[in-house]
Chain A
Amino acid sequence: MTTTRPDLAVEHDGSSSMWTSRVRRRWLSTLPPDKLLPDRQPAYVASWIYVFGVLTLAAFLVILLSGLVLSFVGPAWYHTASVGRFINSLHFWSVQLFFIFMVIHLWGKFWMAAWRGRRALTWMTGVVCFLASLGTAFTGYLVQTNFDSQWISFEAKDGLNAVGIGAFFNVANLGQMLLLHACLLPLVVGVVVVWHVLLVRRHGVVPPIDAVAATDPVQDVTETKAVS
């Protein structure tokens, strides 16, 4: 559904074919401000299960912030500094909370069959977030520079080598794992998370199974064109 908002889509002379104008038009038609930052949501969004998505996001933020501090001082700092140990503990527990909330969110979305109504991509980006988070956590465990890292790298190499991944992903290479953990993978997770959230904003929260719109049933039959 597009909303004509001429005040937001002013195009100046000869600009209609410009990339910028096209992107802007597309953006405003797909994600107008009232969808991006809504002040309302469908009345059926009334269950505590819905808070686990935002709780996951919040945990992700705490992970990032605590991780930033750790990255500022390096991976061995926390072994010897009590403040470092506390920051490490923040990072550890925010990861635990992150996975707890994310999995409960996944359970909820599964039982709601939240992929309905052209929301398959929302589901899929969510699963990619989950899988990418697993990989990010895995590299995190590898860069603790303690006994746990030693054991995990020793064991994990077998699984990864068995399928050829170990040829270019060396769990015993602290430099590689640290950069993946602190740079590449959080970026991947971040990008997919943003994509996931924008898809939710775009399509709206999925209606209940077997929901009917509160309009005349006859109208429902005729107004069947799907909306992006």
Chain B
Amino acid sequence: MTSLILDNVCVDFPIYGSQRSLRRVLFDRATGAFVERKKDRITVKALRNISFTLNEGDRLALVGHNGAGKSTLLKTIAGVYHPVQGRILVSGTITPLFDVLPGIDLEDTAYENIRTAGMLFGLSRERIEEIMPDIEEFSELGEYMGLPVRTYSTGMTMRLGFAFATAMDPGILLLDEGVGAGDARFMERATKRMEDFIGRSRIVVFASHSNALVEKMCNKAALMQGGCMLAIGEVKDILERYDALIRGGGGVGASVDEAVALA
């Protein structure tokens, strides 16, 4: 049984500026000023007390303004960031699909990058060779597959990342918006492939600005603002609240001011 449980998860980002220096810390320690300095260290409270439970078949959309904490939440579920408080419990395998191939190197060819990324994801060599023809075909990179990725256009690099990610077997799928951009023809094919991919996943957490996509793909939604989850529930209700929030002028500025706090 696949499930994902977040229990009171908080994430803080310390912002290091000039104080990221050994001399400063040693000096301050020696002069006993360390405790004081800590007071003016800026911490961005990126996620605050997030709790929810997802079970098999749940497709959760995260909606909210830029900087509301959607991507941070996805990366925290993926295990990139460790919560400063609370815990995340999972049963199943997690497939993060963010902006690029993990460990991509522009000097390497597409084949090499796919093998590296595949191995990082724990695929066996045989499995990587199995999915390779599918990636070749879907990305339509042709001869470029054997050339260094630095010779690719932005769209081509994205196609490669998209083709690789969607060739895998997802358990708990984490999707960030903007995955799979490209020309109109590719978008059409990508949307179809994405639907199939989401269909194969057991749980999906999807950050998006596109209401149409959210309504089509998801059966649950959560509204985020300033690192808090304001509401979680039916897609229709949440999208209505989100629209109200936009019209009500609860703009980005307010939430950023709120999010930056002196720890």
The reply to whether chain A is a binding partner of chain B is no
